[in-house]
């Protein structure tokens, strides 16, 4: 198997449609890592969930479904702006304006003091064999050890390690995994790690969430869920 190279100029992402493509293989259709992982859990039905919250949860009393969904959309757009500002600072030195982007960059400077790191931002990885692709927020290369660490920026209010009423995944692969955002993020990071190790021969020693709150960045190490990723890959190969 021919190994991929990082920053492959032939591999691109259309940010408007969130579609990956390879110029040498124009007919290839890639699924995103987020989509592949999400297929193993109940689909997030935003209108239904918003309707339930504004009807039954006192916290959302007085809000309409449209207002709550609009708030969610703005939160998503804010997350995108934070990612973009961090990337622009790393590659172009452009000063960020979003407070959480500033917090994230300050944390990243502290992180870099652990060793001699080369920091890469928004790194696209893919497997032509699997037709799966994704974008890693931060890929930190330890120049002393040769190992890499994965960092995923998250600006959501909470990182939940337990699901509501013990809800679990919907496929045989995830029926032993609670359906909470921590596990979703851990699986996504694990998939990036799998792609790097299997298709780039890049050694990964650590993967973590960098949780951005209003006043700090809290790092949360996630487990390498390798067995679950292998099961997802095998299941996809059978379809």
Question: 106-109 — which CB contacts under 8 Å span 24+ positions?
Answer: 106/217, 107/210, 107/216, 107/217, 107/219, 108/138, 108/151, 108/210
Q: What is the pLDDT of residues 16-39, one digit of tens each?
A: 899 999 999 999 999 999 999 999
- Tell me the pLDDT band of 115, cut-offs 50, 70 and 90: very high
pTM (two decimals):
0.94
CATH class held by domain 11-43+98-238: alpha beta
**What mean pLDDT comes out for the span 180-201?**
98
Predicted local confidence at residue 106, as pLDDT = 98
- Domains in the chain: boundaries: 11-43+98-238
Q: How large a percentage of the chain has pLDDT more than 70?
A: 99
CA distance 13 to 22: 9
More confident residue, 231 or 47: 231
Q: What is the DSSP letter of 222?
A: -
Q: Is the pLDDT at 44 greater than 90, yes or no?
A: no
Predicted local confidence at residue 164, as pLDDT = 85
Least confident among 69-78, 107-116, 208-217 = 69-78
**What mean pLDDT comes out for the span 70-92?**
93
**What mean pLDDT comes out for the span 142-157?**
96
Predicted local confidence at residue 108, as pLDDT = 98
Predicted local confidence at residue 103, as pLDDT = 98
Q: Provide the terminal-to-terminal Cα distance of the chain, rounded to the nearest Å.
A: 22
- The residues facing 126 across adjacent strands are 133
Q: Which value, to the nearest 10 degrees, does the dihedral of the CA atoms of residues 99, 104, 110, 112 take?
A: -140
CA distance 195 to 125: 7
Q: Is the pLDDT at 96 greater than 80, yes or no?
A: yes
Predicted local confidence at residue 61, as pLDDT = 87
Distance from chain centroid for Cα 77: 15
Q: What is the pLDDT of residues 210-223, one digit of tens each?
A: 999 999 999 999 99
Q: Is the pLDDT at 76 greater than 90, yes or no?
A: no
The bridge status of strand 148-154 relative to strand 132-142 is antiparallel
- For 192, counting Cβ atoms within 10 Å of its Cβ (0-12 exposed, 13-18 middle, 19+ buried), the class is buried
Predicted local confidence at residue 125, as pLDDT = 98
**What mean pLDDT comes out for the span 172-190?**
98
More confident residue, 152 or 2: 152
Residue written as tokens 């998939």? 191
- Tell me the pLDDT band of 237, cut-offs 50, 70 and 90: confident
* Contact call for residues 125 and 133 (beta carbons, < 8 A): yes
- Tell me the pLDDT band of 46, cut-offs 50, 70 and 90: confident
């Amino acid at each position: 198997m021919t190994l991929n190279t990082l920053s492959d100029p032939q591999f691109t992402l259309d940010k408007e449609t969130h579609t990956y493509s390879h110029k040498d293989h124009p007919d290839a259709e890639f699924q995103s890592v987020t989509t592949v992982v999400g297929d193993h859990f109940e689909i997030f039905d935003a209108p239904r969930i918003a309707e339930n919250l504004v009807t039954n949860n006192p916290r959302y009393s007085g809000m309409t479904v449209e207002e709550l969904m609009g708030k969610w959309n703005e939160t998503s757009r804010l997350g995108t702006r934070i990612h973009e500002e961090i990337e622009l600072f790393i590659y172009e030195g452009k000063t960020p304006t979003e407070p959480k982007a500033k917090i994230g960059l300050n944390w990243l400077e502290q992180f870099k003091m652990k060793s001699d790191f080369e920091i890469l931002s928004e790194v696209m990885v893919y497997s032509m064999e699997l037709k799966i692709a994704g974008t890693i927020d931060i890929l930190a290369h330890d120049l002393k050890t040769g190992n890499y660490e994965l960092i995923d920026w998250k600006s959501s209010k909470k990182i939940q390690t337990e699901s509501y009423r013990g809800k679990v995944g919907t496929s045989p692969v995830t029926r032993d995994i609670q359906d909470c955002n921590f596990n979703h993020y851990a699986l996504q990071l694990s998939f990036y790690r799998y792609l790097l190790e299997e298709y780039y021969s890049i050694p990964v020693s650590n993967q973590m969430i960098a949780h951005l709150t209003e006043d700090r960045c809290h790092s949360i190490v996630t487990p390498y869920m390798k067995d679950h990723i292998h099961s997802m890959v095998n299941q996809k190969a059978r379809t």
